[in-house]
Amino acid sequence: MYRSNVLVCGGTGCTSSNSELIIKRLQEEIKAAGLEKEVNVVRTGCFGLCALGPIMIVYPEGSFYSRVTPEDVPEIVEEHLLKGRIVRRLLYQETVVDDNTVKSLNQTPFYSKQHRIALKNCGVINPEEIDEYIAVDGYKALGKVLTEMTPQEVIDTILKSGLRGRGGAGFPTGRKWSFAAANQADQKYVCCNADEGDPGAFMDRSVLEGDPHSVLEAMAIAGYAIGATQGYIYIRAEYPIAVKRLQIAIRQAREYGLLGKNIFDSGFDFDIDIRLGAGAFVCGEETALMTSIEGKRGEPRVRPPFPAVKGLFGKPTVLNNVETYANIAQIILNGPEWFSSIGTEKSKGTKVFALGGKIQHTGLVEVPMGTTLREIIEEIGGGVPNGHKFKAAQTGGPSGGCIPASLMDTPIDYDNLIAIGSMMGSGGLIVMDDTTCMVDIAKFFLEFTVDESCGKCTPCRVGTKRLLEILNKITSGNGTLEDIDNLESLCYYIKENALCGLGQTAPNPVLSTLRYFRDEYVAHVTDKVCPAGVCKALTNFVIDPDKCRGCTLCARNCPVGAISGSVKQPHTIDTSKCIKCGACMEKCKFDAISKR
């Protein structure tokens, strides 16, 4: 038994800001202080509050240290671990109470509104030790399923829980399993979609890095339910830490006999292999993903036949997302009634969101379905920083849409998001403030879809290119009102005619910004102005003569000599020469230069 446990986040965010070095220094310093038998250092998965990384929690006190640097380590060891004095300057401010005590993390605004099911073990256990997973009831659900339940009972339990796919579309997981179970074949497959291609989303990565065994266990349960003996995890090659932890987890599960032949002496065989993606967004689409596992170009196939009938290598296949799997063991252990008591009428359970963009607390949050956007952004996320105003939240990545401030009180679930022109998607939630141009954001997503269109069907291959051309025309100041109408009708055409989910949803960013921010489009074409001051061609830099002191700093820094004026006299910018680089505005000490 150790008297103290030091948990250090080993997720991608904190690793990128040097948590590995912190762990190394900790181990060295603890050894030097002769505490190695008393203090245990644990590398965990993501705690969620990525904005404050690297994060360290010291138990039993529960001190939450944020933005720790390797240089802070000697002080932490000397003061806290040796002398028992909490290093107050490193504490997360929200946990500090005046009377020298520390508030529990669960009482801070960031954590108190969360309900953790899929992220239950993230930031709690060491993901590279199967024993730690087993200690928190890991593989108990698999044992229960194999020894006490029939495959049909497993499917009924999942059906009854109301669990819907967390990858985006929200198809009921139990129905998917029952279709695949009903098809007879000599071989069936269970696949896991860990190709988190939606930019700005990192939920699946965090689950795999923080709790990889929960996914393996759930895949084995799915295998038993549908009668499959082989599983594949398709994961992005861009996630090296997640890949490594999965490899370790699979190896340990095999050693313990929790994967392989005759699991729990039940006669059930199941094994899992990893397949690396190679950077193609379309491979998140289920049929494209399976084509890619087959080693081919990841182009989608026409459905039907659906994967439950003819999937990987032409065999019946169940494909679920990482987060969906992360819920399965909990449902088996706690019962479907427990799960369906959380959430809204048609969307049960919780959803993990990756909060990013212009928000105070970037990070990972898990909230019950039906939580409003306002609660997530203002209460949990801490609102928009630097005194700016909230403008929109983008959900669903390149397939989703922007939700304006007026709809912030909508309870978030699958159906409500579709009704307001966005979608759940995998759970990326990007916050935008008044310095974000909505036409530019639509263009950003279209550039992405044009890049990632696989080229198989014409509406997507050619249609998205045309959309992007029109958007470029508008943002460069050459658009007309007719262009906006053409943009809209082309969007609907693509939605109705594209082959796969990628193409059918590609116009969503344009349609939703048109729906809620049409005035910005109109300002671009009729007034030739970009209200947010983002589109360079439509922005002019001007000097306020009342504020300008004539210090000549801007004129000396202008790379093209567009600024003129004499010393101590207000300067002016020649807009015909100006290249809009913004150097003058950055340099001005009197705040006299602004964008119009």
Cα angle 581, 587, 591; round to 5? 105
CB of 554 to other proteins, least distance (A): 16
Judged by CB under 8 A, the residue of 250, 432, 460, 525 near other proteins is 432
Residue 448 binds to other proteins (criterion: CB under 8 A) = yes
Query: Do β-strands 260-263 and 428-433 pair in parallel, antiparallel, or remain unpaired?
Result: unpaired
CB of 351 to other proteins, least distance (A): 17
For residue 57, the cross-strand partners are: 7, 64
C-beta closer to other proteins: residue 298 or 459: 298
Compare residues 133 and 281 and give the one whose CB is closer to other proteins. Answer: 281
Query: Site residues for other proteins, window 134-173 (CB under 8 A)?
Result: none
Binding segment (CB under 8 A) for other proteins, from list 177-185, 219-227, 442-450, 545-553 = 442-450
The answer to whether 444 contacts other proteins (rule: CB under 8 A) is: yes
313 touching other proteins, by CB under 8 A: yes
358 binds other proteins (CB under 8 A): yes
**Distance of closest approach, residue 173 Cβ to other proteins, in angstroms:** 25
Based on the number of CB atoms within 10 Å of its own CB, is 98 exposed (0-12), middle (13-18) or buried (19 or more)?
A: exposed
Residue 255 buriedness (CB in 10 A; 0-12 / 13-18 / 19+): exposed
Give the closest residue to 55 by CA, choosing from 12, 7, 105, 1. 7
Where does this chain touch other proteins (CB under 8 A) — which range of 301-309, 341-349, 446-454, 561-569? 446-454
**206 neighbors 130 (Cβ within 8 angstroms):** no
Minimum distance of other proteins from residue 360's CB (angstroms): 11
Which is nearest to 377 in space by CA: 359, 391, 357?
359
Residues 247-306 contacting other proteins, CB under 8 A: 275-281, 292-298
Least CB distance to other proteins at residue 292 (A): 7
CA atoms in the 13 A half-sphere facing the CB of 594? 9
- Cα separation of 201 and 426, whole Å? 7
CA 351 to chain centre: 11
Residues near other proteins (CB under 8 A), total: 51
Whether omega before 304 lies within 30 degrees of 0, making that bond cis, reads yes
Of 449-508, binders to other proteins (CB under 8 A) are 451, 454
What distance in Å separates the CA atoms of residue 503 and residue 593, rounded to the nearest whole number? Answer: 43
Task: Report the SS3 class of residue 555.
Answer: helix
Min. distance of Cβ 297 from other proteins in angstroms?
Answer: 4
Which residue is it, tokens 């979609």?
Answer: 193
Which single residue is written with the structure tokens 């669960």?
A: 106
Residue 193 tokens read as 């979609």
Interacting residue with other proteins among 362, 426, 513, 539 (CB under 8 A): 362
Per-residue binding letters, 192-231, with other proteins (x by CB under 8 A): ----xxxxxxx--x--------------------------
Q: Does 436 bind other proteins (CB under 8 A)?
A: yes
> Sign (positive/negative) of CA torsion 520, 522, 524, 529?
negative
Q: How far, in Å, CA of 549 to CA of 358, rounded?
A: 33
Q: CB-wise, 49 or 525, nearer to other proteins? A: 49
Shortest CB 451 distance to other proteins, Å: 5
138 or 200: whose CB is closer to other proteins?
A: 200
Contacts with other proteins, residue ranges (CB under 8 A): 12-13, 16-17, 50-51, 53, 196-202, 205, 237-239, 275-281, 292-298, 313, 354, 356-358, 362-363, 394, 397, 428, 430, 432, 436, 441, 444-445, 448, 451, 454
